[in-house]
Amino acid sequence: MAVGSTLGRRLPVMADVAKEAGVSHQTVSRVLNDHPNVRSETRTRVLQAIDKLGYRRNLVARALVTKHSRTLGVVSFDTTLYGPASTVYGIEQAARAAGYFVSIVSLKSIDRAGVRDALDYLADQGVDGIVVVAPQRSAACALDDLPLGVPTVAVEGGEAGGVPVVSVDQVEGGRLATEHLLSLGHETVWHVSGPSDWLEAEGRVAGWRAALEQAGREAPRPLAGDWSPRSGYEAGRSLASMRNVTAVFVANDQMALGVLRAFTEQGVRVPERVSVVGFDDIPESEFFSPPLTTIRQDFGAVGRHSIEVLVRQLEGGPQERERLVVPPVFVARASTAWA
């Protein structure tokens, strides 16, 4: 009688796979752990038995034996925003490609206690390592007090304690946007910034200022936003009332959408009167009116690099702090023109 017919509603175990394939329990274990010392025809027979029986390995039991859960923890914040959500997605895809499961803790608000609780929770779950998406300074500061023995990587973490950091070069992104507008003959570039406690906003402001200073141009006072289209809309209404504004760098595409709406309502034509550059290259930006010139962040690369750095630690690699920077990419569309 075949093994499958004797199982009934019982879940198959490794011994059932061994019996179906006609091999030992140890051979099945070697195949599951991708051991090289298994003949190819034997490996094929075991894999066919696994597929036929619908066997699923007991990850809890495996973790007890190997001391590794093959699970990585991710702490994230405000995944309603395009940047953090895309970053988490990139991390999750990279982790799965590397053979790891992902456990995500998403926090509504960022404070030291909340970050610490999330890190402790993941450590208690037995994760092998943790990636913290830390776009705000308060989150980065919380990484100074990490659970002992748990390898950790910060994404967009600034100078995050003693842990490795993977980030997009926000300063370079701000510089690219501003230099593009200056190259079109604009006397100066106005800026709609993100929230002051966000490291990304801080970096984009720094790049904007550096480009203007290098060109010997005065930096106007930034208009502060909160990443939302509504805040961009309010900034756009203010900018539309200023006749000397001909170029605007907006710190994200969502706020740029609000700026464009305000300009349209006030009769300010883009790019004929004012050129606008955004940041992020969200999927909708090429369908704005006009299609938005912007700065693209490679969130897939951020995810891959953060997992690569973490896996190197897990495999006994160097534990010292390192910083890996992903370059931004300028994307030219129809929202900018010669002054």
| Contact assessment for residue 81 and residue 227, using Cβ atoms and an 8 Å cutoff | yes
Is it the case that residue 202 has pLDDT exceeding 90? yes
* 3 state DSSP class of 243: coil
Q: Which two tokens stand for residue 126?
A: 């037995």
Is it the case that residue 212 has pLDDT exceeding 70? yes
Q: Amino acid letter at 197?
A: D
Q: Do the domains at 67-168+299-326 and 170-297 have one common CATH topology? A: yes
Partners of 77 in beta bridges: 107
When pLDDT is cut at 50, 70 and 90, the band that residue 180 belongs to is very high
In percent, how much of the chain has pLDDT > 70? 89
| Contact assessment for residue 102 and residue 92, using Cβ atoms and an 8 Å cutoff | yes
Label residue 144 exposed, middle or buried (CB < 10 Å: 0-12, 13-18, 19+): exposed
Label residue 32 exposed, middle or buried (CB < 10 Å: 0-12, 13-18, 19+): middle
When pLDDT is cut at 50, 70 and 90, the band that residue 161 belongs to is low
The 8 Å CB, 24+ separation contacts for 115-119 are 115/75, 115/139, 115/142, 115/143, 116/142, 116/145, 118/75, 119/73, 119/75, 119/146, 119/147, 119/150, 119/152
- Greater pLDDT, 299 or 30: 299
Query: Tell me, what DSSP letter sits at residue 90?
Result: H
**CATH domain 67-168+299-326 topology:** Rossmann fold (3.40.50)
4-57: which CATH number, 3.30.930.10, 1.10.260.40, 3.40.605.10, 3.20.20.80?
A: 1.10.260.40
Q: Which two tokens stand for residue 135?
A: 């776009």
Give me the residue spans of the domains in the chain: 4-57, 67-168+299-326, 170-297
Nearest Cα neighbor of 135 from 177, 104, 166, 93 is 166
Question: Can you tell me the mean pLDDT for 175-192?
Answer: 98
**CATH domain 170-297 topology:** Rossmann fold (3.40.50)
Give exposure, 86-96, as e/b (b: 16+ Cβ within 10 Å): bbbebbbbbbe
Q: How far is CA 323 from CA 33, 97, 160, in A?
A: 33, 22, 10
Q: Would you state the pLDDT for residue 66?
A: 47
* 3 state DSSP class of 87: helix
What is the C-alpha R_g of the chain? 26
Render pLDDT for 23-64 as a digit per residue (tens, 0 to 9).
Answer: 998 898 788 777 788 899 999 998 898 888 887 765 545 544
Render pLDDT for 315-326 as a digit per residue (tens, 0 to 9).
Answer: 876 566 788 999
Q: How many CB atoms lie under 10 A from the CB of residue 98?
A: 15
Question: Can you tell me the mean pLDDT for 75-88?
Answer: 85
Render pLDDT for 95-139 as a digit per residue (tens, 0 to 9).
Answer: 999 889 999 998 877 677 788 888 888 888 889 999 999 888 877
Is it the case that residue 147 has pLDDT exceeding 80? no
Nearest Cα neighbor of 225 from 203, 194, 248 is 194
How far apart (Å, rounded) are the C-alpha atoms in residues 255 and 200? 14
How far apart (Å, rounded) are the C-alpha atoms in residues 204 and 194? 9
Question: Can you tell me the mean pLDDT for 223-248?
Answer: 97
Partners of 190 in beta bridges: 248
Q: Would you state the pLDDT for residue 3?
A: 53
pTM of the predicted protein model: 0.80
